[in-house]
């Protein structure tokens, strides 16, 4: 009987999930919250404070401390750590870590007598890591688009995007040339943590690597021309692109009862991992992840790109490709609206929808409290077609949830029409939100058994790398637990509002009432 561990390093915390494929059970789940558990790194909600609201960085040592704490908690929970036969993982997409020439030696010399953060701190060429929320690289994006035009999206799956690693690298090399020159290796969050586990240089997989504007999805390797333009001497600083097993577990981790040498699968991004964890890695089912950000993604039968340039194409860890549209103002925006309306989650999730009709009388509000990704908008502010702040709490809540769902539908049209949506993430527990999604998309909305779909996907990929068939595990670990059916009588209401939300996206930063 073998166990497999999946580690999900997300924006606000880190989760570990142990599965037993033979028994078809989740053995244990543990987590670390960056705000509550590691306040010494000054990253509340996983983000360092900065005077510029467009700059969103984290301390990479935070992720190392979280891994130590996570594994310690897993061991303390009573799991038979020696049964873990493989480890997989994922990281928040686009985040990048900059290492100097001491990195390889520091990995090789890891000792259990000291913490990971302490041992690897001298290997950082840059003390902070830009993460997916960063919107400060518009200039670099314009330069990349001017140089490569449509080819950038046609070959890498996305136009130049502020949060993507390529523009981040270009901006860093221009602003801090000395630190860039000291950078010997640039890793993603996923490949960085995978490297730590194996004590060597881990590859970048195509699922996470495609979120860099540097990986050519037609060749499945780094695009030499784009890399050369992005930053001087960049190509040798990038890890290789790869799949499967990254290497064996470093002896450092024996301190947690893990067996040195067990296979560590190449880590992927959180969204590709969720595609696997929700059982949607094959074509035909779309996933709506309602987390810190909201994402809509699905497997693609063939490579194609969003004609509007908002959506993205990544590698699918199970093979082939996947499409994705990301909305930065997800649960953080919903939580802010809940706090501003002074309501509890029970009111937000159910009561507000019982008191208001579908369509909300045409009242919509896009809660762009931070600059938005889809569509790309750098000026924050609520877009509303009524006096948003003066309305009753239930009206404001439905206005926000419906606007978010309609915007998602609008920007997912290029991916295709789906009869089934699978929902995951914290807000997927809300019956009211699930019903809005069902009505807006006119699709069956299914909840899956494991809320931590990224961690589950990472564990499934670990087992797959060790020879366990993914198809069999999907049937076992991704069962449907709840269903919301679409109400056909609401289709016309939301078809009409689809045009209104598109108008709001182009409106001024705040429309007080019309």
Please check the confidence at residue 514 and state whether its pLDDT lies above 60.
no
Q: What is the CA radius of gyration of the chain?
A: 22
Q: Are 425 and 327 in contact (CB under 8 A)?
A: no
> Is residue 17's pLDDT more than 50?
yes
Neighbours of 39 (CB within 10 A): 11
Task: Indicate the pLDDT class of residue 176, thresholds 50, 70 and 90.
Answer: very high
- The answer to whether residue 510 scores a pLDDT higher than 60 is no
The position carrying tokens 């008191």 is: 355
Residue 509: which pLDDT band, with cuts at 50, 70 and 90? low
Domains and CATH numbers, the chain: 3-266 (3.30.420.40), 276-514 (3.30.420.40)
Q: Which residue has the higher pLDDT, 475 or 434?
A: 434
Residue 138 has pLDDT above 90, yes or no: yes
Residue 36's nearest CA partner among 62, 9, 3, 64 is 62
What pLDDT shows up at residue 508? 62
Q: Give me the DSSP letters along 189-246.
A: HHHHHHHHHHTS-PPBPHHHHGGGS-EETTTTEE-HHHHHHHSTT-GGGSPPB--SEE
Taking only the tens place, the pLDDT of each residue in 254-279 is 999 999 999 999 999 998 999 999 99
Q: What is residue 299's three-state secondary structure?
A: strand
331-358 pLDDT per residue, tens: 989 999 999 999 999 999 999 999 999 9
Q: What tokens appear for 286 in the block?
A: 């779309």
Tell me, rounded to whole angstroms, the distance of Cα 166 from its chain centroid: 17
Contact by Cβ (8 Å): 221, 241: yes
CA–CA distance, 182 with 109 (Å, rounded to integer): 21
**Best CA proximity match to 295, nearest among 318, 320, 282, 314:** 314
Q: Residue 5's closest CA among 27, 22, 23, 24?
A: 27
Say which residue, 343 or 480, is predicted with more confidence: 343
Residues 6+ apart with CB under 8 A from 391: 363, 399
pLDDT at 513: 39
pLDDT tens digits, 186-236: 999 999 999 999 999 999 999 999 999 999 999 999 999 999 999 999 999
Task: Confirm if 315 and 272 have CB atoms less than 8 A apart.
Answer: yes
Token pair 């860099």 is at which residue?
212
For position 512, what pLDDT does the model report? 41
- Percent of residues, the chain, with pLDDT higher than 70: 98
Report the mean per-residue pLDDT for the chain. Answer: 95
User: What does each C-alpha distance from 82 to 75, 260, 456 come to in angstroms?
Assistant: 10, 10, 19
pLDDT in tens, 98-119: 999 999 999 999 999 999 999 9
E strand map for 238-363: 245-248, 263-265, 268-269, 286-290, 294-300, 312-315, 321-327
What pLDDT shows up at residue 1? 82
Q: Encode pLDDT of 147-163 as tens digits.
A: 999 999 999 999 999 99
38, pLDDT greater than 90 = yes
pLDDT at 416 over 70: yes
d(CA 291, CA 404): 13
Does residue 245 surpass a pLDDT of 90?
yes
In three-state form (DSSP H/G/I as H, E/B as E, the rest C), the secondary structure along 172-203 is HHHHCHHHHHHCCEEEEHHHHHHHHHHCCCCC
pLDDT, one tens digit per residue, over 53-100 is: 999 999 999 999 999 999 999 999 999 999 999 999 999 999 999 999
The pairing of beta strand 245-248 with beta strand 263-265: antiparallel
Q: What percentage of residues in the chain have a pLDDT greater than 90?
A: 87
């Amino acid at each position: 009987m073998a166990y497999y561990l999946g580690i999900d390093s997300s924006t606000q915390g880190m989760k570990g999930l142990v599965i037993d494929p033979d028994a078809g059970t989740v053995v244990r789940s543990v987590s670390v919250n960056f705000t509550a558990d590691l306040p010494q790194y000054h990253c509340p909600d996983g983000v360092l404070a900065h005077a510029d609201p467009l700059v969103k960085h984290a301390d990479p040592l935070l992720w190392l401390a979280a891994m130590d704490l996570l594994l310690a908690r897993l061991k303390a929970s009573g799991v038979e750590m020696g049964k873990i036969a493989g480890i997989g993982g994922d990281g928040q997409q686009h985040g990048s870590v900059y290492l100097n020439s001491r990195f390889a030696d520091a990995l090789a010399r890891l000792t259990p007598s000291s913490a990971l953060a302490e041992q690897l701190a001298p290997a950082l060429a840059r003390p902070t890591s830009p993460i997916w929320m960063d919107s400060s690289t518009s200039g670099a994006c314009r330069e990349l688009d001017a140089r490569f035009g449509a080819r950038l999206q046609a070959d890498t799956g996305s136009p130049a995007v502020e949060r993507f690693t390529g523009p981040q690298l270009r901006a860093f090399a221009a602003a801090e040339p000395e630190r860039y020159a000291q950078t010997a290796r640039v890793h993603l969050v996923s490949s960085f943590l995978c490297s730590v586990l194996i004590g060597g240089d881990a590859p970048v997989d195509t699922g996470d690597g495609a979120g860099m504007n540097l990986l050519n999805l037609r060749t499945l390797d780094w695009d030499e021309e784009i890399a050369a333009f992005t930053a001087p001497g960049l190509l040798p600083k990038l890890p290789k692109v790869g799949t499967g097993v990254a290497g064996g577990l470093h002896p450092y981790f024996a301190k947690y009862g893990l067996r040195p040498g067990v296979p560590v699968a190449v880590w992927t991004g959180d969204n590709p991992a969720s595609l696997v964890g929700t059982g949607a890695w094959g074509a035909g089912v779309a996933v709506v992840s309602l987390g810190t950000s909201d994402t809509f993604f699905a497997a693609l039968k063939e490579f194609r790109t969003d004609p509007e340039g908002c959506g993205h194409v990544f590698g699918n860890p199970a093979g082939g490709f996947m499409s994705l549209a990301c909305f930065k103002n997800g649960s953080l925006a919903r939580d802010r609206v809940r706090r501003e309306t002074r309501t509890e989650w029970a009111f937000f999730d159910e009561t507000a929808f019982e008191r208001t009709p579908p369509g909300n009388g045409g009242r919509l509000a896009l809660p762009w409290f931070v600059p938005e990704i889809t569509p790309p908008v750098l000026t924050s502010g609520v877009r509303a077609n009524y006096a948003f702040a003066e309305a009753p709490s239930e009206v404001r809540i439905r206005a926000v949830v419906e606007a978010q769902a309609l915007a998602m539908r609008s920007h997912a049209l290029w991916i295709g029409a789906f009869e089934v949506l699978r929902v995951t993430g914290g807000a997927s527990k809300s019956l009211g939100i699930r019903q809005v999604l069902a009505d807006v998309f006119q699709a069956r909305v299914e909840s899956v058994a494991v809320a931590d779909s990224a961690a589950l996907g990472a564990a499934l990929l670990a087992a797959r790398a060790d020879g366990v068939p993914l198809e069999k595990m999907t049937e076992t670990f991704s069962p449907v637990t709840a269903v919301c059916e679409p109400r056909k009588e609401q289709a016309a209401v939301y078809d009409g509002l689809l045009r209104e939300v598109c108008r709001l996206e182009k409106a001024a930063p705040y429309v007080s009432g019309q």
